[in-house]
């Protein structure tokens, strides 16, 4: 769709994930120049804006009111106003409110401009020591245990480093669910990145769970888990892994296909042996 000549511009502005000094010079300039700032939580964002002497009209834009607020903000854009969208931390739309407004603006021919900056997942990956050339960003897992375990099981054979976000009230149970699926893998847990009480725990998931249970659970968490590693295995080892995948909820045919492809085994041979194996 062609851009509307009279419409304003929607800026997607990344803000600090903790340390307020991490904001970019360009982000500060945009926040000072726009007509309106749409914030996930206006009270939270005022701490940043007051720190840098920025005073602009604010519109609350949080997940529970995204659709309604999207229409209000779109009307402002149609009238020619420029709008900066910010979340409480990091980049809007990345595990934060924003995608509804961004999609609506694009569909309406409104210019959407990124103003990049801090990112919790990139910050964690940069110091992890885990492979980061390719990674799978999962974000927040489903809050219900059954759905969470199903999602984790679907990632059991993912070879790339896995990146998750988690809230403090669920982090222990999530780690325990992860341990069932990713037993023995290297993992890292980051709490309160760039903040005063920043903390990193590295080790196996078993070790991270033990450490987490001995600490005060608070703040936002980033969890990194080593991807699945292909190894040379014999048929008996493949059958053991097949049984484990089936225990985690994968169907026999799906598990056989995945293991046969990864280990270079005959699908028919592995399937037939699995039937004999029970």
Predicted pLDDT of residue 278? 64
- In the chain, where does the domain assigned CATH 3.30.950.10 lie? 121-225
Provide the token pair at 107. Answer: 């569909």
Predicted pLDDT of residue 160? 94
SS3 category, 138 = strand
Give 175's contacts (C-beta < 8 A, 6+ positions apart).
189, 205, 208, 209, 212, 223
- In the chain, where does the domain assigned CATH 3.40.1010.10 lie? 9-118
Give buried/exposed letters for 32-48 (b at 16+ CB in 10 A, else e).
eebebbbbbeeeebeeb
Per-residue pLDDT of the chain (278 residues), as tens digits, is 444 557 899 999 999 999 999 999 999 999 999 999 999 999 999 999 999 999 999 999 987 788 889 999 999 999 999 999 999 999 999 988 999 999 999 999 999 999 999 999 999 999 998 999 999 999 999 999 999 999 999 999 899 999 999 999 999 999 999 999 998 899 999 999 999 989 999 999 999 999 999 888 888 899 999 998 766 567 888 888 889 889 888 899 988 988 887 777 778 888 888 888 76
The CATH architecture of the domain made up of 121-225 is 2-Layer Sandwich (3.30)
SS3 category, 83 = strand
Predicted pLDDT of residue 50? 97
Provide the token pair at 27. Answer: 């982000």
Superfamily of the domain at 9-118? Tetrapyrrole methylase, N-terminal domain (3.40.1010.10)
The answer to pTM > 0.85 is: no
Give buried/exposed letters for 206-218 (b at 16+ CB in 10 A, else e).
eebbeebeeeeee
């Amino acid at each position: 769709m062609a851009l509307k000549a009279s419409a304003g511009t929607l800026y997607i502005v990344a803000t600090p994930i903790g340390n307020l000094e991490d904001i970019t010079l360009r982000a500060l300039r945009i926040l000072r120049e726009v007509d309106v700032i749409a914030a996930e939580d206006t009270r939270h964002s005022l701490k940043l804006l007051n720190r840098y002497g920025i005073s602009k009209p604010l519109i609350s834009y949080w997940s529970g009111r995204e659709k309604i607020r999207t229409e209000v903000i779109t009307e402002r854009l149609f009238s020619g106003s420029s709008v900066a969208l910010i979340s409480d931390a990091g980049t809007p739309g990345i595990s934060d409110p924003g995608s509804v407004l961004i999609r609506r603006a694009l569909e309406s021919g409104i210019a959407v401009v990124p103003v990049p900056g801090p990112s919790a997942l990139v910050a964690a990956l940069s110091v992890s020591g885990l492979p980061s050339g390719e990674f799978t960003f999962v974000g927040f897992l489903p809050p219900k245990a059954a759905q969470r375990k199903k999602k984790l099981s679907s990632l059991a054979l993912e070879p790339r480093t896995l990146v998750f976000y988690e809230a403090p009230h669920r982090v222990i149970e999530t780690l325990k669910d992860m341990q069932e699926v990713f037993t023995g893998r290297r993992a890292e847990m980051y709490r309160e990145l760039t903040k005063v009480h920043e903390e990193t725990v590295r080790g196996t998931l078993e070790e991270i769970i033990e450490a987490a249970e001995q600490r005060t659970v608070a703040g936002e968490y980033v969890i990194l888990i080593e991807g699945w590693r292909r190894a040379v295995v014999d048929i008996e080892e493949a059958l053991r892994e097949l049984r484990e995948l089936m225990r985690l909820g994968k169907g026999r045919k799906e598990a056989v296909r995945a293991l046969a492809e990864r280990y270079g085994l005959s699908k028919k041979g592995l399937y037939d042996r699995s039937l004999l194996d029970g």
